[in-house]
C-alpha cells in the first residue's frame, strides 16, 4: 500500500487530467486518492481481528489533532452554502479540502507503526539489523523515506519538462516557463520551491555524514530543479527557498546556537533577511508606466488586490467570507466602476495573493482559525521531536508560508494535497513510540 501512496504523491500534478464519471467531474488524482482510501478501509476491515481495539487508529484519538481538522471541514461545508454557485463550491470543497484531508488519513493509517500489516516481516527484520545496516536505520522509517523520495522525483520530472519547454521555446511572452500547469509560471514555482528545499535539506543531511557517493544524484537533481525554478522568474519562490534553507540550518543546529548564546543574533538576522526579501519582492512602484515592466505592474496589482480585500471585502464578510470559488466574481462586481480595475486588476484577482487572506475570504473566520490551529500543531509536533525528518519538514513548511505571504500555496489541488501530506508526516513522526523509526 505504501507504494501506491508514493504513486499518488508522485502524481500530484495528475489533477490536470480531468474527466467525468457518471456526469460528475473528477480528476485522475482524485480517483487515485479514492482508490487509496477504499483499499485502506478494506485492508483494515479484513485484517481487523489482528489488532486490539486499544491499538487501532490511536493517532485519531488525539483531540488536539482531530478538532482543528473537523473545524476546517466544517468551515468548508459552511462555505459551500455561502457561495452563490453551489455546484462550483462543492467541486472546490471536494478538490481542495475533502480529498487532501482524505489523503492525509490514508497516510496516517498506513504509516501508523502499531498497525503494520502490509509487511509484518518488517518487525522481525528490524530485530536482526546488522552493523552494516546502521545507515538504513539512521535514515529512518522506510515508508517515510519512500514518500519523501516520490515527492522529490515528482518535482524532478516537472522540472525536466519545464527545462524542455525553455529549450524548445515554449515560453510566455516574457520568456518564463509554465511547466505542465499551463496557466502561470507561479503555479510551477509554487510546486517546485518546497520540493527543492526538501531536496536541499536531504542533500545537506547526506553531506553532514560525508556520504559523497549517495550525495551525487541529489546534487544533480538539486541543480536541475534550481534551474527550472529560475526559469519561472518567480522572485517569491527564490526568496522562499533561501529562507527555507536557512531555517533548516537554524533548526538543525539550534542546540549549538542556543548554547553559544547567539540565538538573538540569528533571529535578528532571519527577521531582517525576511523583511528585506519581502519588501524587495512586493514593493510597489506608484510611478510605474505601461513600459515599466512586469515586476512593477505585478507588485502594484498585488497591492491593490490586498488593499481591496482587507479594506473593502473582509470588513463586510469577516465572519463567513464570500464562499468557496466566489472571490473573483465578488471582486469584479465590487470594483467594476473603479479606474483600471476592470482592465488590469480584476482579471488577475483569482485569489487574494496571500495564503491567510485567501483562507479567510473563502472559508470565513472559522476556516482561518482552524488553519492557524493546524499550523500551530505542526510546529508544536516539530518542537517536541527535532530529528532530521522534522527539520526537513519544518524547512518545507517555512518555504510554503513565506510564499504564502505574496501568493496562495494552498488553493490548488496539488498544493492542498502537499500541505496535508506534510501535516500527516509530522503527525506520524510525533506519534511514533519508536524513535528509531523516525530519527532520520
Q: How far apart are CA 32 and CA 42, in angstroms?
A: 15
Rounded to the nearest 5°, which phi and psi values hold at 279?
Answer: -65, -40
Start-end of H helices in 235-293: 235-252, 254-259, 263-282
Radius of gyration (C-alpha) of the chain in whole angstroms: 22
pLDDT at 432: 66
Q: How far apart are CA 427 and CA 269, in angstroms?
A: 30
Q: How far apart are CA 107 and CA 37, in angstroms?
A: 9
- Rounded (5°) CA angle 368-385-259: 110
What is the number of residues in the chain? 440
- Is 411 in a helix, a strand, or coil? coil
pLDDT at 126: 37
Residue in the structure block whose three cell numbers are 538573538: 264
Q: How far apart are CA 327 and CA 147, in angstroms?
A: 34
pLDDT at 122: 39
- Domain spans of the chain? 2-47+56-72+86-120
Q: How far apart are CA 398 and CA 395, in angstroms?
A: 5
Going residue by residue through the chain, which has 440 residues, state the pLDDT in tens, using 9 for 90 and above: 899 999 999 999 999 999 999 888 999 999 999 999 999 998 877 655 454 444 445 566 567 889 999 999 999 999 999 999 999 999 999 999 999 999 999 999 888 654 443 343 333 333 333 333 333 334 446 788 899 999 999 999 999 999 999 999 999 988 999 999 988 899 999 999 999 999 999 888 877 776 677 788 999 999 999 999 999 999 889 989 999 998 998 888 777 766 666 666 766 777 787 777 677 666 666 555 555 444 446 788 899 999 999 999 999 999 999 999 999 999 999 999 998 899 989 999 999 999 999 999 999 999 999 999 999 999 998 876 557 888 999 999 999 999 999 999 999 999 999 999 999 999 888 776 444 444 44
Amino acid at each position: 500500500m505504501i507504494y501506491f501512496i508514493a504513486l499518488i504523491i508522485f502524481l500530484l500534478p495528475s489533477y490536470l487530467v480531468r474527466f467525468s464519471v457518471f456526469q460528475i467531474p473528477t480528476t485522475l488524482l482524485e480517483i487515485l486518492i479514492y482508490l487509496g482510501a477504499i483499499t485502506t478501509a478494506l485492508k483494515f476491515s479484513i485484517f481487523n481481528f489482528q489488532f486490539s481495539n486499544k491499538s487501532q487508529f490511536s493517532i485519531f484519538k488525539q483531540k488536539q489533532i482531530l478538532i482543528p481538522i473537523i473545524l476546517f471541514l466544517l468551515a468548508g461545508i459552511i462555505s459551500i452554502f455561502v457561495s452563490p454557485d453551489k455546484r462550483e463550491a462543492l467541486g472546490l470543497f471536494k478538490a481542495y479540502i475533502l480529498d487532501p484531508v482524505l489523503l492525509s488519513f490514508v497516510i496516517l493509517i498506513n504509516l501508523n507503526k502499531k498497525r503494520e500489516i502490509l509487511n509484518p516481516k518488517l518487525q522481525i527484520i528490524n530485530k536482526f539489523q546488522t552493523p552494516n545496516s546502521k545507515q538504513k536505520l539512521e535514515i529512518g522509517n522506510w515508508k517515510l523515506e519512500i514518500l519523501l523520495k516520490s515527492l522529490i522525483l515528482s518535482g524532478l520530472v516537472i522540472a525536466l519538462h519545464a527545462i524542455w519547454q525553455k529549450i524548445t521555446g515554449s515560453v510566455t511572452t516574457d520568456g518564463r516557463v509554465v511547466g505542465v500547469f499551463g496557466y502561470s509560471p507561479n503555479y510551477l514555482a509554487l510546486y517546485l520551491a518546497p520540493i527543492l528545499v526538501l531536496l536541499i535539506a536531504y542533500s545537506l543531511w547526506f553531506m553532514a555524514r560525508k556520504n559523497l557517493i549517495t550525495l551525487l544524484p541529489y546534487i544533480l537533481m538539486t541543480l536541475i530543479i534550481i534551474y527550472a525554478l529560475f526559469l519561472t522568474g518567480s522572485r517569491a519562490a527564490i526568496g522562499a527557498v533561501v529562507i527555507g534553507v536557512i531555517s533548516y540550518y537554524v533548526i538543525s543546529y539550534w542546540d549549538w546556537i542556543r548554547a553559544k548564546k547567539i540565538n538573538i543574533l540569528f533571529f535578528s538576522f532571519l527577521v531582517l533577511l525576511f523583511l528585506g526579501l519581502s519588501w524587495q519582492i512586493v514593493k510597489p512602484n506608484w510611478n510605474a508606466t505601461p513600459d515599466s515592466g512586469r515586476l512593477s505592474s505585478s507588485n502594484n496589482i498585488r497591492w491593490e488586490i490586498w488593499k481591496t480585500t482587507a479594506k473593502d471585502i473582509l470588513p463586510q464578510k469577516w465572519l463567513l467570507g464570500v464562499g468557496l470559488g466566489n472571490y473573483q466574481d465578488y471582486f469584479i462586481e465590487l470594483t467594476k466602476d473603479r479606474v483600471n480595475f476592470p482592465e488590469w486588476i480584476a482579471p488577475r484577482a483569482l485569489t487574494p495573493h496571500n495564503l491567510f487572506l485567501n483562507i479567510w475570504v473563502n472559508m470565513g473566520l472559522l476556516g482561518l482559525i482552524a488553519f492557524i490551529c493546524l499550523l500551530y500543531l505542526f510546529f508544536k509536533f516539530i518542537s517536541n521531536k527535532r530529528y532530521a525528518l522534522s527539520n526537513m519538514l519544518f524547512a518545507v513548511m517555512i518555504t510554503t508560508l513565506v510564499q504564502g505571504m505574496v501568493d496562495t500555496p494552498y488553493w490548488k489541488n496539488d498544493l492542498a494535497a502537499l500541505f496535508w501530506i506534510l501535516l500527516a508526516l509530522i503527525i506520524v513522526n510525533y506519534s511514533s513510540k519508536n524513535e528509531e523509526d523516525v530519527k532520520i
